Each structure stands twice: as structure tokens, then as C-alpha cells.
Amino acid sequence: MFARNIDSSYAPVVRRNLDRLVWGRLISNACYRFAPPFIAVIARGLHVTVAQMGIAFMIGEFAGLSSPILGRIVDKNNRMVTMMIGMTGITLAVITAATSTTLVQFAIAMCVLSGSKVLFDTALIVWVNDHVPYERRGRIVGVIETSWALSLFIGVAIMGVATAVFSWRAGFAVGAIGMMISGGLIVAALPRHDAHAPVSEQARGKVPPNGYLVFACAFLLMGASQCLGITFGPWFEDEFNFSSAALIAVVIVLGLFELVSSIGSSRVTDTWGKENSIRRGSILMVVSALLMGLAAHTSFVAVPMLVLFILGFEFALVSMLPLAANIVPTAGGIGLGLTVGAGTCGRAVFSTIATSLYDHVGPIGPAVTASALSALTVVLISSYKRSVR
């Protein structure tokens, strides 16, 4: 299915295993992305407020600060082992979330989920780096990152149906079952000898000064995404009387446009250049988030602007991953781990800021904040491009 998008010039081990890796990534993404659109539903189930849920998400996202450490672990160890540990952690975290009876238990589940997903994602991308030259990674990463879009279009939509029919606990349960199945398929099929660490036992490297601009961009980009990703559910419920079924429809549309964006990135990022692609996606985020805030009470404007915002975000994020993995060319896990850590920190910080703004200011607060963060991303990625000439 996914392997058909790459030609025979890619390593046979990549083409043979791409499908199961993308499916594993898709289901892990769905488990990770399920809660924010249904934050109001989960909050009611745990008898807490949306703002309190925001704190739980913030705590969970801070687990991503372990990304630099996890990146170094991946660089030094067998990719298969680290992917397997990550997938096991994701499964256990989702089961814990499904059985949560208190906000503290739910926050712990989100924390384990975040850290485990960082480990799995980093190991997968570094495995790709082991087998694909830098100048050709934009296409392969773009194909893999279609899993981010499909996680909404397929994964979260299915989990959402389970939520609408049964409860949000059933939604998490569906994700756990899917993760166990896909994890088993990956472990059974991925060759152990092709999942080794680099020949050098000490995968070390120094981050160049301009690399910190990429980390800052990741922080801002993910923070901007979180501002709207964590508030559009209660926003559309409160302002437009959207039901769970209507939110599922929005999620499916978002997934469809994310898929278009991922495919587009895989086709043009290597041609346009990683930095230009990030900048163009971020500009689209600036404009759409601002218009969304200005039309906060008008559904026929706010909903399409959310779709365009997510499209721009997905394009920018997919374009950033191969750039991040090459910040330290001799140790891809370091640059990628620090980038993911910075992005996760952005999600954590703005989880609580966005929900607090929503409770105290209304939907315009998160929207304007998302636009401002996206604008800063444009400035910083432009500075990075100039510094690498």
C-alpha cells in the first residue's frame, strides 16, 4: 500500500517493511491524538474541567523532554529493540488511560504515552536514516508521515465511533488492541541484523549553533498546533453545538487534508528545500489561525480555517523531520531527539496556556496565540536558511 509510493532504487529492506512500519506509526499516532478532540467528553467522564484536563496534558507532554536522552539511546542501540520498547509502552499507557478513574491516573498515562511514542518515532526515523541518503529522505519521510494524517482519517475516527457508541474508554481500548496487533507484526517481520546501531559504538556529535534555531522552530510550531488542536473540540461544542458525531466528521476532514499535505510534502520538499517548505507551511498557519480567531463565532469560516491551519502545520512538520535528523549528520538521533523534545515542550507549555485562554478569554485567545507562534516560526526558519548558505 505505502511501499508503492517509492521506487526500486530504495533499499530492499525499506521497501519490504515500509507498510507495516507505517501502519504501526499510524496506530501509535491515533492513540496519541485521540484525546485532544474529545477533551470535553473525557473531562466530563472524570468530573473535571477542560482547564484541569489541560494541566494533565501538559504533564504528559513534558515526558517528551526526555527526547534528547532517548535519541542518544536509539543512536547506540538496536533499532528493533527500541521500537519494541516504545510500542509496548504505548500499549500500556493507552490501557491505563482507558481504566483511569482520577485525573492523576490519566496524567500518568499521558506521560507514559508521550515518552514511549518519542522512543518509537525516533527509532523508526533513525532506522530510515540508516538506509536512505539525506538527499532522498524527504520523499520517504513524507510517505511515513502520511500516517499522521491517516491517524485522524482512520484511527481517531474509529476510536471516535467507539466513543460515540459506547464511551471514551472504549475509544482508548480500540487503540490498545490496534497497537498490540501492529506491534506484533513489526517485531515478527523486521530483520534484526538490519536494525543495528551504527558501526561506531559511540554515537556522538556536536549540535551546531544554528541547530538551535530548528529546535526553537519545533517548539513554536508544535505549540501553535496544540493551541488549536486541544481547544477546537470544546470550541465547536460550545459555539456551534457540535455533537461527538459532528466532531468525528471534522476529524475525518482534518485527516483527509493532512493526508493531502503529507503526500504533497513527499513530492515537493526535496525540490523546494526543507527550509522553504517549512516557511510556506508556517505562513499558511499564520493566516488561517488569524482568520479563525476573527471568525470565532462563525462556523462556515472557523471550520475551513482550522482545516487550512492543520494542512499548513502538517506540511511544515513533515518537511522539518529530515532537516532535524541531519543537524548532526553522524548521529541522527541527537538532532531528531532534541527537535522532538523541543516540539513536545511546546505542546506541553501551550496545553495549559491554550485551555486557560479558552476558559478565560474564549476561542479567540488560542487562535491569536497560534497565529503569533506560527509567525515567529517563519522568522526563525528564514534565519536558519540564511545561516546555512
CATH code at position 225: 1.20.1250.20
Count structural domains, the chain: 1
- If one compares 327 and 218, the residue with the highest pLDDT of the two is 218
- Does any domain span residue 349? yes
Choice among 27-36, 156-165, 200-209 with the minimum mean pLDDT: 200-209
- Alpha carbon of residue 105 to chain centroid: 23
Choice among 198-202, 222-226, 381-385 with the minimum mean pLDDT: 198-202
Polymer length of the chain: 389
pLDDT of res. 91: 94
- Does any domain span residue 1? no
- Does any domain span residue 6? no
What CA–CA distance (Å, rounded) separates 341 from 343? 5
pLDDT of res. 329: 63
Please say if the pLDDT value at position 173 is more than 90. Answer: yes
Please say if the pLDDT value at position 220 is more than 90. Answer: yes
Q: Cell numbers at residue 64, please?
A: 517528551
Helices (H), ranges, the chain: 12-33, 39-46, 50-61, 67-76, 79-98, 103-131, 137-144, 146-150, 157-165, 168-189, 211-229, 232-240, 244-272, 274-294, 299-325, 332-360, 364-387
- Would you give the DSSP letter of residue 34? S
What CA–CA distance (Å, rounded) separates 216 from 325? 15
Cβ atoms < 10 Å from Cβ of 264:
18
- Does any domain span residue 221? yes
With b for 16 or more beta-carbon neighbours within 10 A and e for fewer, the 196-226 pattern comes to ebbeeeebebebeeebebbbbbbbbbbbbbb
What CA–CA distance (Å, rounded) separates 370 from 350? 9
Q: Tell me the average pLDDT of the chain.
A: 81
What CA–CA distance (Å, rounded) separates 269 from 274? 6
pLDDT of res. 203: 47
Tell me the average pLDDT across 4-8: 62
pLDDT of res. 7: 60
Please say if the pLDDT value at position 386 is more than 80. Answer: no
Please say if the pLDDT value at position 253 is more than 80. Answer: yes
pLDDT of res. 36: 82
Choice among 129-143, 264-278, 302-316 with the minimum mean pLDDT: 129-143
Tell me the average pLDDT across 297-318: 89
Residue 137: give the domain boundaries. Answer: 12-387
**Helix axes of 39-46 and 103-131: crossing angle, nearest 10 degrees:** 140
pLDDT of res. 194: 53
What CA–CA distance (Å, rounded) separates 225 from 12? 36
Tell me the average pLDDT across 70-87: 73
- Does any domain span residue 237? yes
- If one compares 114 and 27, the residue with the highest pLDDT of the two is 27
In this prediction, what percent of the chain has a pLDDT beyond 90? Answer: 22
What CA–CA distance (Å, rounded) separates 302 from 289? 9
- Does any domain span residue 164? yes
- If one compares 63 and 197, the residue with the highest pLDDT of the two is 63
What is this structure's pTM?
Answer: 0.69
- If one compares 125 and 381, the residue with the highest pLDDT of the two is 381
pLDDT of res. 205: 60
Q: Are 332 and 326 in contact (CB under 8 A)?
A: yes
pLDDT of res. 177: 94
Q: Are 215 and 328 in contact (CB under 8 A)?
A: no
pLDDT of res. 327: 75
Choice among 1-15, 143-157, 182-196, 208-222 with the minimum mean pLDDT: 1-15
Tell me the average pLDDT across 99-108: 91
